[in-house]
C-alpha cells in the first residue's frame, strides 16, 4: 500500500500576542470565542546548505489516507472503460489525483474544528454571519451572496447582467464561464496579451489583460453592449498565469472612463496575490491580506469558488454596491437556496470562514505554487515542454510540442492525459480542444493551447510523490512517438469534456504498455 498524506496545517489557539503575530477573531457565538493566531510575517523561502532548491512543507501530517497504485494492465483497462476521459476514472484506480484543485485541497485542523459548531438554521444562520465577516475581513466586501460553488456564481452573474448581443471582454475564459455567457445570449472576447500564449517565457504576469485591445473592443461595440469586464485571478486555461495590480489599475481606469463594471473571478486569488508579492516590486513588503484587499478594491463584483480559494466546498459573490447586489439577490433563492446558506451545508460555511482567513497566511497559499515551481523547473531541465514560469493550480505540459505528430483534431492534450495515466496511475486533466466546442458547422473550434494540467492541491502531495510524477513524465517523453490520437464516440453538446467518451485511433495504448513492461518489468 502506498500512503498519501493529507496535510493538516497546525495552527495553535493562543491568547498571547507577540511582535510577529497578529490575532484575528474568526468565530464568535454564545458557545465559542476563538482567537486564531497566524504568523503573517512568515517567509516561505528556505535555503539549503547544499544549494538545492527543494520546497519544504510548512505543516505536519495529522491524517493519512491509503492510496493504491494499480498494475499497468489494470490502468489500461480502467482508462478504456472510462472512454479515455480521465474524468470518468474511479478513484479506486487512481494513484495521485491531479485532476483538479477544486474541492481537493487539504483542510486545516481549525477548519475541521469549526464545523462542529455550525448553526443548522434554514434562515438567519450564525454560520453565515461568520462567513460574511470573514469575506469582509479578507476581500473588503460587505454585501455577500452564498452559492454552492463557483459556476453557480457565474450563473447568477450572467443571468443578472448578460443579455443577447452582449460581449464580455476577459483576460481569458474558463469553460463554465463561457457556457453561462453563451446560454444567456452573449459572447466572450479574449483580450489577452501577446505574451500569454508563449510556452516558455520570463514574463511574470502572462495573465494580464491587453489594455489597447480592450479600448478597441469598447470602441467597436460601445459600452452599452459590454455588461462587465471579467478578470480571472490566475488564468486557468493558459497555465494558471497571474495578472498584476498595475494591469488591474489600467483596466479600472478604462472601465471608469466608460462606466463599465469589473467582475473578478477570485477562485485562485490567494495564489495570484502571492505571485504579486513575489513578482511586483511595489508589493514586495505588503501582506497577503493587503494585496487581496487592493485587488478586490479595484473590482465592483467579486465571485469565487471556495473549493479553491478556501479549501472547502461552496462559493460566493460579494460587492459593496447595493444596486448591483439587488440585481443578483433574488436569483439566489431561485437557483441556490436561502440567502444565508445558498445551497451549502452550514458546516461548509463554517469551514469557508476559517479557510478565507487562512488564505491570508503566506505559508498556506505558497505551498502549491512552490511545488509547481519545483516540478516545472525539473521538467524543463529534462527538455519537457512545460508552461513557464510556473503558475497557480498545477503544472501545465504543452501537448502540441510534446506530441507534434498528433493533429489538434485528434486531441493531443486528451491523448497525453490518457497516456500519462496509463504509465503512472496519476490522473491529470485535458485543457485543450476537448475542452472547447464545435462551430455551427460541426467543426472543432481549435483551442489556443493544448495542455495537460497536473493539479497540485494545497498541502496534499509529498516530495517523493512529486518526484514520481517527474520520473514517469520523463519516461513518457522519451517514448512519446508511441502515443497516438483520440476520437469522440459519445459527445455531449455542452461541456463535453466532463462526460464525453473517446477511443484511441489505433492500438497505440497497447504498444505503450508493451514498452513500459520492457523497461520497468513488474514494477508498478
For this structure, is 253 an active site residue? no
Rounded to the nearest 5 degrees, what angle is found at the Cα of 402, between the Cα atoms of 401 and 403?
Answer: 95
Which residue in the list 130, 141, 230, 431 is annotated as catalytic? 431
How deeply is 213 buried, as exposed, middle or buried, from its count of CB atoms within 10 A (0-12, 13-18, 19+)?
A: middle
Which residue in the list 86, 100, 175, 359 is annotated as catalytic? 175
Give the DSSP H or E segment for 26. Answer: strand 22-28
Which residue in the list 5, 161, 174, 456 is annotated as catalytic? 174
| CB-CB neighbours of 253 under 10 Å | 11
| CB-CB neighbours of 517 under 10 Å | 14
d(CA 514, CA 332) in angstroms, rounded, equals 53
Grid cell of 339 as nine digits: 440567502
**How many Å separate Cα 144 from the centre of its chain?**
22
d(CA 484, CA 399) in angstroms, rounded, equals 12
For this structure, is 174 an active site residue? yes
Which residue in the list 265, 300, 361, 373 is annotated as catalytic? 265
For this structure, is 265 an active site residue? yes
Which residue in the list 308, 427, 458, 480 is annotated as catalytic? 308
Name the maximum alpha-carbon separation found in the chain. 67
For residue 104, what are the contacts with CB-CB under 8 A and spacing of at least 6?
Answer: 97, 455, 457, 460
Strands 167-170 and 143-147, sheet pairing: unpaired
Which residue in the list 5, 128, 421, 497 is annotated as catalytic? 497
**How many Å separate Cα 183 from the centre of its chain?**
23
For this structure, is 431 an active site residue? yes
HEC sequence for 474-486: HHHHHCHHHCCCE
For this structure, is 220 an active site residue? no
Residue located via cell numbers 461552496: 314
Q: CA–CA distance from 34 to each of 12, 24, 65, 113 (Å)?
A: 11, 9, 29, 11
Which residue in the list 122, 223, 409, 490 is annotated as catalytic? 122
For this structure, is 300 an active site residue? no
Entry field: residues in the chain: 524
**How many Å separate Cα 439 from the centre of its chain?**
27
Give the residues across from 241 on adjacent strands: 235
- The one-character DSSP state at 211 is H
Give the residues across from 388 on adjacent strands: 200
For this structure, is 175 an active site residue? yes
Known catalytic residues are 122, 174-175, 265, 308, 431, 497
Amino acid at each position: 500500500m502506498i500512503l498519501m498524506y493529507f496535510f493538516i496545517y497546525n495552527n495553535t489557539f493562543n491568547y498571547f500576542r507577540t511582535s510577529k503575530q497578529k490575532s484575528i477573531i474568526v468565530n464568535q457565538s454564545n458557545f465559542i470565542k476563538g482567537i486564531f493566531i497566524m504568523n503573517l510575517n512568515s517567509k516561505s523561502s528556505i535555503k539549503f546548505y547544499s544549494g538545492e532548491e527543494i520546497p519544504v512543507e510548512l505543516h505536519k501530517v495529522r491524517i493519512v489516507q491509503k492510496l493504491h497504485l494499480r498494475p499497468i494492465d489494470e490502468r489500461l483497462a480502467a482508462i478504456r472503460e472510462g472512454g479515455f476521459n480521465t474524468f470518468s476514472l474511479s478513484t479506486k484506480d487512481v494513484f495521485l489525483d491531479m485532476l483538479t484543485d477544486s474541492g481537493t485541497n487539504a483542510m486545516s485542523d481549525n477548519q475541521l474544528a469549526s464545523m462542529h459548531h455550525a448553526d443548522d438554521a434554514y434562515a438567519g444562520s450564525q454560520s453565515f454571519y461568520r462567513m460574511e465577516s470573514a469575506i469582509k475581513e479578507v476581500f473588503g466586501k460587505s454585501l455577500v451572496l452564498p452559492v454552492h460553488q463557483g459556476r453557480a456564481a457565474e450563473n447568477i452573474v450572467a443571468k443578472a447582467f448578460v443579455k443577447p448581443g452582449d460581449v464580455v471582454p476577459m483576460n481569458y475564459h474558463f469553460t463554465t464561464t463561457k457556457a453561462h455567457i453563451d446560454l444567456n445570449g452573449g459572447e466572450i472576447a479574449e483580450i489577452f496579451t501577446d505574451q500569454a500564449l508563449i510556452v516558455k517565457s520570463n514574463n511574470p504576469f502572462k495573465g494580464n489583460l491587453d489594455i489597447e485591445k480592450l479600448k478597441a473592443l469598447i470602441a467597436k461595440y460601445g459600452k452599452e453592449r459590454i455588461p462587465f469586464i471579467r478578470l480571472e485571478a490566475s488564468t486557468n486555461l493558459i497555465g494558471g498565469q497571474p495578472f498584476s495590480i498595475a494591469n488591474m489599475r489600467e483596466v479600472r481606469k478604462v472601465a471608469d472612463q466608460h462606466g463599465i463594471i469589473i467582475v473578478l473571478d477570485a477562485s485562485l486569488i490567494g495564489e495570484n496575490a502571492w505571485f504579486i508579492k513575489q513578482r511586483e516590486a511595489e508589493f514586495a513588503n505588503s501582506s497577503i491580506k493587503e494585496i487581496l484587499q487592493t485587488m478586490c478594491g479595484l473590482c465592483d463584483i467579486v465571485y469565487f469558488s471556495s473549493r479553491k480559494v478556501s479549501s472547502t466546498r461552496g462559493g460566493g459573490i460579494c460587492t459593496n454596491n447595493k444596486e448591483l447586489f439587488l440585481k443578483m439577490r433574488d436569483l439566489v433563492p431561485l437557483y441556490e437556496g436561502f440567502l444565508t446558506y445558498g445551497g451549502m451545508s452550514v458546516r461548509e460555511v463554517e469551514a469557508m470562514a476559517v479557510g478565507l482567513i487562512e488564505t491570508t497566511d503566506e505559508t498556506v497559499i505558497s505551498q502549491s505554487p512552490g511545488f509547481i515551481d519545483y516540478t516545472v523547473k525539473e521538467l524543463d531541465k529534462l527538455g519537457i515542454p512545460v508552461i513557464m514560469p510556473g503558475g497557480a493550480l498545477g503544472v501545465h505540459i504543452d501537448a502540441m510540442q510534446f506530441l507534434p505528430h498528433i493533429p489538434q483534431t485528434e486531441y493531443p492534450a486528451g491523448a497525453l492525459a490518457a497516456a500519462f495515466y496509463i504509465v503512472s496511475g496519476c490522473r491529470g486533466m485535458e485543457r485543450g480542444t476537448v475542452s472547447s466546442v464545435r462551430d455551427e458547422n460541426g467543426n472543432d473550434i481549435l483551442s489556443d493551447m493544448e495542455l495537460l494540467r497536473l493539479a497540485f492541491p494545497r498541502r496534499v502531495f509529498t516530495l517523493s510523490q512529486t518526484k514520481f510524477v517527474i520520473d514517469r513524465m520523463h519516461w513518457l517523453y522519451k517514448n512519446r512517438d508511441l502515443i497516438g490520437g483520440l476520437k469522440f464516440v459519445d459527445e455531449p453538446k455542452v461541456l463535453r469534456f466532463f462526460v464525453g467518451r473517446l477511443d484511441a485511433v489505433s492500438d497505440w495504448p497497447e504498444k505503450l504498455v508493451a514498452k513500459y513492461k520492457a523497461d520497468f518489468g513488474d514494477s508498478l
